[in-house]
Amino acid sequence: MNLGVLSSGSSGNALVVEHEGKCVFLDNGLSGCEHGKRLQEAGFHGIQPLGLFLSHEHGDHVRGAGVLARKWKIPVFSTRGTYFGAGLHRQKLPGGFEAAANGDTVELGPFSVTFFSVSHDAADPSGFLIRAGGVSVGIATDLGKAGALLVQTLGGCNGLVLEFNHDLDMLWDGPYPWPLKQRISSGLGHMSNDDGAELLSRLAHPELKVCVLAHLSRENNTPELAMASAVRVAEDRFTLLAGSRHAALPSIQVV
Ligand SMILES: [Zn+2]
Ligand SMILES: [Zn+2]
């Protein structure tokens, strides 16, 4: 299984998971053109997309959802809250829409994709557990806190994409207005570097190979600070990478 982090951050999020030439897309906050360009840059050539899964309706995750679904004529999978919140009912989706509830598992080609509920200020937001060929990847970005359900769901993953949104000191000392600072740091907002590291420590196990630090804030974080928090947990047991809003990471083999 290969994981692609095409873009990560509040300006746009787009992930891809590939197995034996087939793939699923997760979120798209990029233009159709930029998404295609970054797929190539990451090393995903000639792949066959089977579907687009959406986590929640915030623009940085769905801005380019309709265009991507039309470009590849693939079905869109999300909760009804995400679908209506994103206004997708007003768009043409030639591949159709498949409603899923948090807790559901969708079987699609070689992939099995489980939706689970996350704590975030959206209509009905989801995290994902994706399995194919005996390998699993867990995705949890855009969440204010991680509960027992999330830890139980993602406990056995070989790869993880976890939110390391902000450094708490940078957030409180930074330029954001007070209500926004409160929203970000609340249980329905975004996880700090300390929260991300704490979650990672609960999810780490001998078969975890790689963790991508995701959704880093431009104003309130740096890759160095996020990495420093995660390294304290990972030591040398698994690989750490930081996602970027500027460029795709090279395709990550998760074994
Ligand atoms: Zn987001
Ligand atoms: Zn969000």
Q: Which domains does the chain have, with CATH numbers?
A: 2-253 (3.60.15.10)
Q: Is residue 255 predicted with pLDDT exceeding 90?
A: no
- 244-254 burial: b if 16+ Cβ within 10 Å, else e: bbeebbebbeb
Strands 22-28, 48-53: pairing is parallel
Going from the Cα of 56 to the center of ligand 2, the distance in angstroms, rounded, reads 7
Going from the Cα of 103 to the center of ligand 1, the distance in angstroms, rounded, reads 21
Q: Is residue 88 predicted with pLDDT exceeding 90?
A: yes
When the pLDDT of each residue in the chain is averaged and rounded to a whole number, the result is 97
Going from the Cα of 75 to the center of ligand 1, the distance in angstroms, rounded, reads 22
Q: Is residue 125 predicted with pLDDT exceeding 90?
A: yes
Q: Is residue 31 predicted with pLDDT exceeding 90?
A: yes
Tokens of 4: 């692609």
For the whole model, what pTM was predicted? 0.97
Going from the Cα of 121 to the center of ligand 1, the distance in angstroms, rounded, reads 10
Going from the Cα of 190 to the center of ligand 1, the distance in angstroms, rounded, reads 9
pLDDT digit string, tens, across residues 147-191:
999 999 999 999 999 999 999 999 999 999 999 999 999 999 999
Going from the Cα of 126 to the center of ligand 1, the distance in angstroms, rounded, reads 12
Is residue 25 classed as helix, strand or coil in its secondary structure? Answer: strand
> What per-residue confidence (pLDDT) applies to 95?
98
Going from the Cα of 183 to the center of ligand 2, the distance in angstroms, rounded, reads 11
